[in-house]
Amino acid sequence: MNEEVENLKLTPTHEWVRRKTKTIVIGITDYGQQMLSDVTGVDLPEPDDQRYDARDDLGVIESVRTTIDFHAPVSGTVVKVNSELLANPELINQDPFGKGWLVEMKPDKMSDVDGLMDFDEYESDLPEEDE
């Protein structure tokens, strides 16, 4: 497992969380983007003072297969969005843990991130692949 992934926290709804000093960056996991197939659009929240509770819908990811909501992994406010995705939503497929990040949030309590799954827990929660 590479370092890019091993320090992430994850949710059962396939969001990943990377800690920064006072904020967290949120994206969708590689498994999540594979299930979507080709991403064709994204609807991102406005970065403002609106507070989101954990599991609230933050935005929408559209693909050739389906449309899904992505959620706040913890409570907090969105401080930045990846506006590059508006013109290039395929970055979610191409680089889900890097350039395909979705939003940056300031959590109410950074310690809430500790309650999310680590990568091993997340992987064991995924459905078994058919051989």
Any idea what the CATH number is for the domain that residue 72 is in? 2.40.50.100
Q: What is the mean pLDDT of residues 7-20?
A: 94
Strands 67-71 and 57-63: antiparallel
The verdict on residue 129 lying in a domain is: no
Structural domains in the chain (count)? 1
Q: Which amino acid is at 54?
A: A
Q: What is the mean pLDDT of residues 115-126?
A: 90
Q: What is the mean pLDDT of residues 48-72?
A: 95
Query: How far does Cα 121 stand from its chain's mean position?
Result: 16
Extract the tokens encoding 97: 């843990």
Domain that holds residue 47: 3-123
40, burial (CB in 10 Å: exposed 0-12, middle 13-18, buried 19+): middle
Give the confidence band of 7 by pLDDT, cuts at 50, 70, 90: confident
The verdict on residue 130 lying in a domain is: no
Find the DSSP H helices in the chain: 3-6, 30-36, 84-87, 91-94, 119-125
- Look over the chain and give the mean of its residue pLDDT values, rounded to a whole number: 92
The verdict on residue 128 lying in a domain is: no
Question: What's the pLDDT score for residue 5?
Answer: 72
The verdict on residue 131 lying in a domain is: no
Q: For the segment 87-109, what is each residue's pLDDT rounded down to a tens digit? A: 999 999 999 999 999 999 999 99
